Chains A and B, each alone.
Chain A
């Protein structure tokens, strides 16, 4: 008998928790950067098309699979997938739905801990009087586990552990008493903070408080469409990739949350509501803060340089400085709101990452909720410490690439094939429509069966063999040189090896050799974790056979 007696408190709570799972740091840091790099306003066209033909179908697929598995008492993907077809191998595909979450939580909680720390630093006025270089240097010192202005030794580790303890404690309170309660507080606050900062982003005036541009300059930079980019496969790949990250599909968390919904209760409308809530936070709020405020104070040229290194740098190295331009009080309030918003976006997602592991232990090994939650905290701590200690050696990026990027596409592709072709579209459609509060357009039968898997396959192949510079025209004309960002070249460490071959400075050579070692070591570690979970699934299967449950 399973020890899993979890339940949601209310339907609104479930939707807020699902939206909280989807809304993450990427909504504020990744989306605007992707938009700027891929055609500005024109990016929104492939982005919304991908949301309609890949994002929404995947949401329905995962909600249905989760609720279907829940009928049989399963709350994690290995045995949810196992119920959908007699082939026993599917449960090992389901290992992705636990592994991804543990690996992603390991580094994600680290970023979350930065936001927690930066909330405190904003209140204490740490950044007052610093210039932009000093704020950037503060961040670099922080992640080097260097000195702390708070006087706490190893400040980054202390905040990381605090963040993990907080996550674990909330998870130990269960779905209704922990996860849902945080979502009910965190999501409205996140939206409130976002609206305040978006208002500031929309009302910057050149010449006031050190601003050099009106907000319209930043908004035009982000939204002016470059239609020539619209036909580039690279832009479509970027749009499809962004849909993955933003909706948290291909992770196993949606399956887990939905497995606690009964079969006569709606999922079709709930999935739409949670999905569009995420889009509101991303397209409306996410696009109105980071880029417009940065360009208002730094100008297009400087921000274009900063954007090339991603959104994290802008968020932690630039915005704290810009907020101080608004004066000590408003600057502190804006800092608390910005990092508070990121914290709520982060914690509602990291809590979701804990639930598949907990569900698995509760269902298969009769663990209690508290022990399952604390075991999650411990595993994440052990797996996450390398990302904290060896941040500058690429461990963080490796976790993010393999677990937070490639794995999502692989799992989503396989689950869409399972749902539409193996489980069968007839049964699948019945699952989506069971108890539905909306009429799902019948065109989605066709989209789920053909368009979504093909699009996913294209995203996967496109990432596997990305041509140099994203030049697909040259590639198809016979000159197919792989880009360093392609999965194959990543696996071969092509970029690192080239840098190593070209380096002449002994210190740089040592640094690159160390990086190569840590990159390979982190991959081995991730593979070991995957195989360990697969072994646990095998043990659970054997246990089920012994107990006559299969």
Chain B
């Protein structure tokens, strides 16, 4: 039980951590939250 629960919890945290730390994409992306951030409008070098 504890092995299964630890494994599932660990993988959940790992993948969510990867999402939070994924580099942002240049605009326009799929999301509205950074639409006003001018410095991200330009494509990355």
Report the interface size for chain A: residues with CB under 8 A from the other chain: 34
> In whole angstroms, how far apart are the Cα atoms of A176 and B34 in the complex?
13
A279 at the interface (CB under 8 A from B): yes
Q: Interface majority SS on B: helix, strand, loop or mixed?
A: helix
Chain B residue numbers with a CB within 8 Å of A126 are none
Q: Which residue of B lies closest to A40 (CB)?
A: B1
Chain B residue numbers with a CB within 8 Å of A11 are 19, 22, 30-31
Chain A residue numbers with a CB within 8 Å of B28 are 262
Q: List 22 A-B contacts (CB under 8 A).
A: A8-B31, A10-B31, A15-B16, A41-B1, A176-B32, A219-B1, A223-B1, A262-B28, A264-B29, A265-B30, A266-B22, A272-B15, A273-B16, A273-B19, A276-B8, A276-B15, A280-B8, A283-B4, A283-B5, A283-B8, A284-B8, A437-B18
B1-45: contact bitstring with A at CB < 8 Å (1 yes, 0 no)? 100110011011001101110100100111111000000000000
A284–B15 CB distance below 8 A: no
> In whole angstroms, how far apart are the Cα atoms of A402 and B17 in the complex?
38
A475 at the interface (CB under 8 A from B): no
Q: Interface majority SS on A: helix, strand, loop or mixed?
A: helix
CB distance from B32 to the nearest CB of A (A): 5
Chain B residue numbers with a CB within 8 Å of A219 are 1
A179 at the interface (CB under 8 A from B): no
> In whole angstroms, how far apart are the Cα atoms of A262 and B9 in the complex?
29
Chain B residue numbers with a CB within 8 Å of A8 are 30-32
CB distance from B42 to the nearest CB of A (A): 15
- Which residues does B use to contact A, with CB under 8 Å? 1, 4-5, 8-9, 11-12, 15-16, 18-20, 22, 25, 28-33
A267-283: contact bitstring with B at CB < 8 Å (1 yes, 0 no)? 00110110011011001
Q: Which residue of B lies closest to A270 (CB)?
A: B19
Q: Which residue of A lies closest to B34 (CB)?
A: A10
> In whole angstroms, how far apart are the Cα atoms of A283 and B11 in the complex?
12
A245 at the interface (CB under 8 A from B): no
Chain A residue numbers with a CB within 8 Å of B19 are 11-12, 15, 269-270, 273, 437
B1–A273 CB distance below 8 A: no
A37 at the interface (CB under 8 A from B): no
> In whole angstroms, how far apart are the Cα atoms of A44 and B28 in the complex?
42
Q: Which residue of A lies closest to B24 (CB)?
A: A11
B22–A437 CB distance below 8 A: yes
B9–A265 CB distance below 8 A: no
B11–A261 CB distance below 8 A: no
A160-194: contact bitstring with B at CB < 8 Å (1 yes, 0 no)? 00000000000000001000000000000000000
A9 at the interface (CB under 8 A from B): yes
A7 at the interface (CB under 8 A from B): yes
Q: Which of the residues A48, A273, A276, A284 comes within 8 Å of B5, measured between beta carbons? A: A284
Chain A residue numbers with a CB within 8 Å of B12 are 273, 276-277, 279-280
Chain A residue numbers with a CB within 8 Å of B30 are 7-8, 11, 14, 260-262, 265
Residue from A9, A10, A273 whose CB has the most chain B CB atoms within 10 Å = A273
A330 at the interface (CB under 8 A from B): no
The 8 tightest CB contacts between A and B, nearest first, are A280-B12, A10-B33, A223-B1, A273-B15, A276-B12, A262-B30, A437-B22, A261-B30
A9–B33 CB distance below 8 A: yes
A279–B31 CB distance below 8 A: no
Q: Which of the residues B18, B32, B33 comes within 8 Å of A438, measured between beta carbons? A: B18
Given A44-B4, A280-B12, A284-B5, residue A7 in contact with residue B32 (CB < 8 A)? yes
Known contacts A48-B4, A269-B22; 13 further A-B pairs (Cβ under 8 A):
A8-B32, A9-B31, A10-B33, A11-B19, A219-B1, A223-B1, A262-B29, A262-B30, A276-B11, A276-B12, A277-B12, A279-B12, A437-B19
CB distance from A66 to the nearest CB of B (A): 12
A265–B29 CB distance below 8 A: yes
Chain A residue numbers with a CB within 8 Å of B18 are 269, 273, 437-438
B25–A265 CB distance below 8 A: yes
Q: Which residue of B lies closest to A258 (CB)?
A: B30
A284–B16 CB distance below 8 A: no
> In whole angstroms, how far apart are the Cα atoms of A14 and B31 in the complex?
9
Chain B residue numbers with a CB within 8 Å of A266 are 22
A422-466: contact bitstring with B at CB < 8 Å (1 yes, 0 no)? 000000000000010110000000000000000000000000000
